[in-house]
Amino acid sequence: MEFTKMHGLGNDFIVVYGEQELPADASERAVQLCNRFFGIGADGLVYILPSDRADFKMRIMNSDGSEAEQCGNAIRCVAKYVYDKGHISREQITVETLGAGVQALTLQVEGGAVTSVRVDMGEPVLEGLKVPTTVEANPVLNHPVEAGGREFHFTAVSMGNPHCVIYVDDAVNFQLGTWGPLLEKHPLFPKKINVEFATVRKRDYIDMRVWERGAGPTLACGTGACATLVSSVLNGFSDRAAVVSLKGGDLFIEWDENDNHVYMTGPAAFVFEGKTK
């Protein structure tokens, strides 16, 4: 299998192009290849496939073998891959995702290569049962959740995949490894959940750290950054456009008042190419 290692702000992926459909053993491949000691090493395995609804289809397997409905960093990597490799020459493309439908992307190109991608991430889902959570509220704001003897309060947002955003005094130094796994699998979240710990520094600048469902701590999460901005607006903490600062770098997130869509802008990068035995 030929592959390309890519990353979006350090959230890294094994990208595979050329398959006609998702392989039957994709889950097992993801567990093996994403292992950082015995495999290539990555947060996820991404397949770029044909689509009858868009220019391309993206399917993402997490490092634990589960499938993610959407991934904001991965979709930027897909955009850079297909353009830089010559599979498409337009700077406006569409990508079909499992959980968020067809998404439109605008590519910023310099010297024949993509330097950043603006993604229309669609409308956030705020109804608690649809995120999904077990909470019958719309939206779910500042809702209590107990884990490991500690009470947190979260806001629930789906960006094609489920998120709970929790505000803490210092997101940068927060103990992700202690609280992330307890919250990810909490009974309030029937399909597990991505957990964002956020600190709003200014109305246009938010620190965020993430525990991703199926992958654990990652350097960045695009959908999580979008969920964090939406949550911060709903709670009155931020403006509708802000930089969300992640461990791997910054994303610019906008929640448009006119169409209710969330827009994410950020980079993607090649690391290396190879072939498995």
Active site residues: 71, 221
Exposure letters 227-241 (e unless 16+ CB within 10 A, then b)? bbbbbbbbbebbebe
Residue 260 assigned ligand-binding role: no
The helix (run of H) or strand (run of E) holding residue 44 is: strand 44-49
Residue 258 assigned ligand-binding role: no
Residue 62 assigned ligand-binding role: yes
Instruction: Measure the CA–CA gap between 154 and 92, rounded to whole angstroms.
Output: 36
Residue 72 assigned ligand-binding role: yes
Return the percent helix, strand and coil in the chain, to nearest 5: 20, 45, 40
Closest listed residue to residue 22, CA positions, set 2, 45, 3: 45
Residue 212 assigned ligand-binding role: yes
For residue 274, CA distances in Å to 36, 85, 158 come to: 15, 15, 35
What SS3 state is found at 270? Answer: strand
List, as residue ranges, the binding site.
11, 62, 72-73, 161, 194, 212-213, 222-223
List, as residue ranges, the binding site for substrate.
11, 62, 72-73, 161, 194, 212-213, 222-223
